Structure 1
Amino acid sequence: MGSCLHKDIVPAEPELAPVGRQEYRDAMARLGAAVNVVTTDGPGGRHGFTASAVCSVTDDPPTLLVCLNRGSSASATIHANGVLCVNTLAAGQQELSDRFGGKVPPAERFHAGEWRPGITGAPVLVGALASFDCRITRFVEVGTHDVLFCEVVGLDEAGTREGLMYFLRGYHALGKPPE
């Protein structure tokens, strides 16, 4: 009997051209997202920033993730405090998004809106569509950002108002679907 020789055939990997930064940013502008103001308070101080890179991870335990640019003015404060609140904005709250977007000094950002401390001490926006009060359980460094994994320890909801979305580099109201 002859023996059969077996060779694993491994296909050659295709040459992949890197995607350019601007090309990637332009494509991401087509990915609509909720607009959130992420806030913190504690030993590191009070701070907040606008973010659209927020999403659910799991409901057991309730966890979401927030992407935070390590070069941002909020980064050191968020890490020092270890807590944050994701305040999902309702339609009509664009001014708060712009205010926390970086052009207003951090100390003046909280002069607009009504704020109360959450369970963690992080500022909760009264009238936000939803607020997720969280403690940061871990983070992962990826490129220029930290991906923060945040366990939700408190929730607030403001009812079924229209949400604020960011799509194609502009704000849009997202309403309740027709019944």
Structure 2
Amino acid sequence: MPVEGATYREAMSRLGAAVNVITTIDERGRHGLTASAVCSVTDQPATLLVCINRSSRSRVAFRVGGPICVNTLAHAQREISVAFAGRLGMEERFEEGVWTTLATGAPVLEEALVSFDCLVSSIVEVGTHSVIFCHVQEIRLGDAAEALVYFARAYHGLSHQPG
């Protein structure tokens, strides 16, 4: 028997996840959105996946062969997450934070905990979401800081405990 959507969403709210801003650039400009559905696929070759709701107005900008950057946020960057999750115009979103580029040309958040600069290798449509597979081209490691995580439908900080 299939699981009800509301039950599934409630269960998933109890699965804590890092908060990321996913960005790209095309002939129309920069695009970005907030996402928590990001995970490693393999380290040889370095590949990760990102799940983006197909109804997102940014979704059409992500294409096979195109640039994509996964910017993992620190707890102090909550407002950047909110800006990229909200109804702001695309250029207004990029007024939050300091942006640069790496190998692919996708927007990279300078203060991110880590940025994975990638090229989209394939996109698989599954239900309401696009699963975007990304080959990592370059990584920028930021300062070790408290991570921003999303759990139980709220933002939380996760401290970095060395060793």
- The code of the aligned residue for 1:133 comes to D
Q: What secondary structure is seen at the aligned counterpart in 2 of 1:97?
A: helix
Q: How many residues align?
A: 163
Structure 2: distance between partners of 1:58 and 1:44: 32
Alignment of 1:27-176 (within 5 A): 27-79=11-63, 82-176=66-160
**CA distance in 1: counterparts of 2:139 and 2:132, whole angstroms:** 18
| CA distance in 1: counterparts of 2:116 and 2:5, whole angstroms | 31
1:80 to partner: Cα distance: 7.5
Percent identity of paired positions between Structure 1 and Structure 2: 53
Aligned 8 A contact 2:75 2:147 in 1? yes
Question: Alpha-carbon deviation of 1:162?
Answer: 1.1
Moved over 3 A (4+): none
Aligned residues of 2:20 and 2:34 also touching (Cα < 8 A): yes
Corresponding position of 2:4: 20
Aligned with 2:26: secondary structure?
coil
Q: Distance in 2 between matches of 1:106 and 1:81?
A: 22
Whose radius of gyration is greater, 1 or 2?
A: 1
Point out the structure with the larger strand share: 2
What TM-score does the superposition give when structure 1 sets the normalisation length?
Answer: 0.87
Unaligned runs of 5+ in 1: 1-16
Residues 178 and 81 from structure 1, CA distance in 2 versus in 1: closer, same or farther, beyond 3 angstroms?
A: closer
Matched residue of 2:112: which SS?
Answer: coil
Asked if structure 2 preserves the Cα contact closer than 8 Å seen for 1:42 and 1:81, the reply is no
Q: Using the alignment, how far apart are the partners of 1:176 and 1:100 within structure 2?
A: 25
Cα displacement (A) at 1:174: 0.5
Shift of 1:178: 6.3
- TM-score computed with the length of structure 2 as normaliser: 0.95
Compute the displacement of 1:68 (Å).
1.2
Contact 2:22 / 2:69 at 8 angstroms: preserved in 1? yes
Alpha-carbon distance between aligned partners in 2 of 1:101 and 1:74, rounded to the nearest angstrom: 11
Gaps of 5+ in 2: none
